[in-house]
Amino acid sequence: MSSLSKSLTPSRFTSTVYRRPLRWYVSKIIAYGVLVVGTVVMIIPFMYMVSTSLKTTIDSYSFPPTWIPNPVVWQNYVDIWKMAPLFNVAINSIKISVLSTLGQVISCSLAAFAFARLRFKGREVIFMLVLATMMIPSQVTLIPTYLVFRAFGWINTHAPLIVPSWFGGAFGIFLVRQFFLSIPEELVDAAKVDGCNPFRIYWQIFMPLAMPVLATMAIFSFLNSWNDLLGPLIYLRDLVLMTFPVALASFSGHNVMLNLPLLMTASLVSILPTVILVFAMQKYFIQGIVLSGLKV
């Protein structure tokens, strides 16, 4: 309720106790009703996932589905690591996502520093060029990039999924640059007087200050890398090299390797790191969406 509407309520003017009109309660109930229904729809697929992952194969196909598994089969969470090369898949996902994220944080922040704080010829042109690459859909660059990595002999290795992250990215550069622009000039001047070279200014002053925006950027980079399907689909052939999304997609193909509870267990395990990451750093995550409008 607005401040004015509060001050206009009759309680301020009359001595009788102000009663909220029925309409107020009705609208509250409707609002909660819509939100609760929406939340249930949002959460049910997750509940189904958790519930099925704890069922026996036979129970998982019972209809109508039961919510509380009986018996509860924790064994699925043990078996999953034996059934498929899922342990390798998990290691691959972690390795690729962590290394890509590290590369993005380092290369984007370096470029952002140059764009925000160094004067040099061609700065505006290069910055515009970097931003313009955001407009080009990745499908246009997909095939030539594939050919480049093929020429390097990197097909069926993790390199094509990691290396590009170490060479900048428009979203990260833009986000960090905006933050770097807001750091007061006096701080830089003081450091210059003390004889700091630009790298030390970047590393010892700007980077520590930029931790929040770097966190935002890192979350997005991690999610992109972790959830990517097309990249691994194109570059990886062997199951032992695959990441979660492409492994899950191949498990669920016509030659089903996993039964339903195990498939749900694997899916759940695969989303757990992203869910934990985003919930632990929710503030930075929401900030990132609001600042950029970017969807993962």
Stretch that binds other proteins, among 11-19, 74-82, 203-211, 240-248 (CB under 8 A): 240-248
Q: Is 96 in the site for other proteins (CB under 8 A)?
A: no
Q: List, in order, residues 6 or more apart from 266 with CB less than 8 Å away.
A: 80, 84, 86, 244, 247, 248, 251, 258
Q: Is 110 in the site for other proteins (CB under 8 A)?
A: yes
Question: What's the CA gap between 201 and 222, in Å, rounded?
Answer: 27
Q: Is 270 in the site for other proteins (CB under 8 A)?
A: yes
Q: Is 264 in the site for other proteins (CB under 8 A)?
A: yes
Cβ-based nearer residue to other proteins, 17 or 128: 128
Cα end-to-end distance, the chain, whole Å: 34
Per CB under 8 A, the list member of 73, 158, 164, 242 interacting with other proteins is 164
Q: Is 249 in the site for other proteins (CB under 8 A)?
A: yes
Residue 267 contacts residue 49 (beta carbons within 8 Å)? yes
Question: What's the CA gap between 96 and 105, in Å, rounded?
Answer: 14
Question: What's the CA gap between 113 and 127, in Å, rounded?
Answer: 12
Q: Is 240 in the site for other proteins (CB under 8 A)?
A: no
**Distance in Å, CB of 199 to other proteins, minimum:** 7
Q: Is 100 in the site for other proteins (CB under 8 A)?
A: no
Cβ-based nearer residue to other proteins, 131 or 240: 131
Chain positions 169 to 228 lying near other proteins, rule: CB under 8 A, are 169, 173, 193, 195, 197-199, 202, 223, 226-227
CA distances in angstroms from 222 to 44, 47, 103, 172, 202, listed in the order given: 26, 25, 11, 12, 23
Q: Is 280 in the site for other proteins (CB under 8 A)?
A: no
Q: Is 20 in the site for other proteins (CB under 8 A)?
A: no
Per CB under 8 A, the list member of 20, 21, 121, 125 interacting with other proteins is 121
Alpha helices in 68-137 (DSSP H): 75-83, 86-117, 123-135
Alpha helices in 54-85 (DSSP H): 57-60, 75-83
